[in-house]
Amino acid sequence: MRPGAAAIRAAIVDLDGTMLDTVPDFEAALNGMRQELGLGPITQATIKPLVGKGSEKLVRDALLLDWDAARVEAAYEEAIAGYQRHYLAINGERSTLFDGVLEGLQAMRDLGLRLVCVTNKPVAFTLPLLEQKGLAPYFERVFGGDSFAKKKPDAMPMLGACAALDLPPSQVVAIGDSSNDAESARGAGCFVLTVPYGYNHGRPVQEIQSDGIVDSLLDAARLIGAHNSAAL
């Protein structure tokens, strides 16, 4: 991170592809929806690049694999209702924590950082998932894709999180796996760190304009700690 910058006082952490591998859950929910619509199953490899833009786009993209845009729109309301029903039924059952997540969150807390989760996943899916995986106690606020008028990559969710923390963006770092996270953070004026193991719409993480690539949230905590020590 930039020499001479202010100390970091908070971290905004993404969920899907950053803290949890949720593609297996998406696979179950999307294929349940597709079966009801008379479509065959799709694989995790097909689903992974589609993740990150919110449930509405995920459902549309999963149908556009087979149908034209007009047919997708005609079936959309039935499809999104089916997807949500299937997802809530299995939410978290197949998803797993990435290495270093719990250790990294604890290390950030030990540094005195305030933590917020900002995801494009709907809040109704996000809150029970965080509870189930033992992540909820680390976050003072949680914002989903339906918390603001716009989703990432728009800057609005990051600006909203900073406002909730009552901190300037220059004292906040966003941590995510995709260009969505980076563009949103950059637009808000936050630092941004990226992890290399997530989804990023099927693109190499090296293409993202960030302040650094970290192997895990624990490595992110170490980098933030070093930055804050230098900023004192």
Each residue of 190-208: b (16+ CB within 10 Å) or e?
bbbbbbeebbbbeeebeeb
Binding-site residues for Mg(2+), please?
14, 16, 177
Strand ranges (E), the chain? 10-13, 20-21, 96-97, 114-118, 141-143, 172-176, 191-194
Active site residue 110: no
- SS3 assignment, position 2: coil
From the candidates 14, 21, 25, 181, give the one annotated as an active-site residue: 14
Return d(Cα 172, Cα 163) in angstroms, integer: 11
Q: Which amino acid is at 195?
A: V
Using DSSP bridges, classify how beta strands 191-194 and 172-176 pair: parallel, antiparallel or unpaired.
parallel
Q: Which residues are catalytic?
A: 14
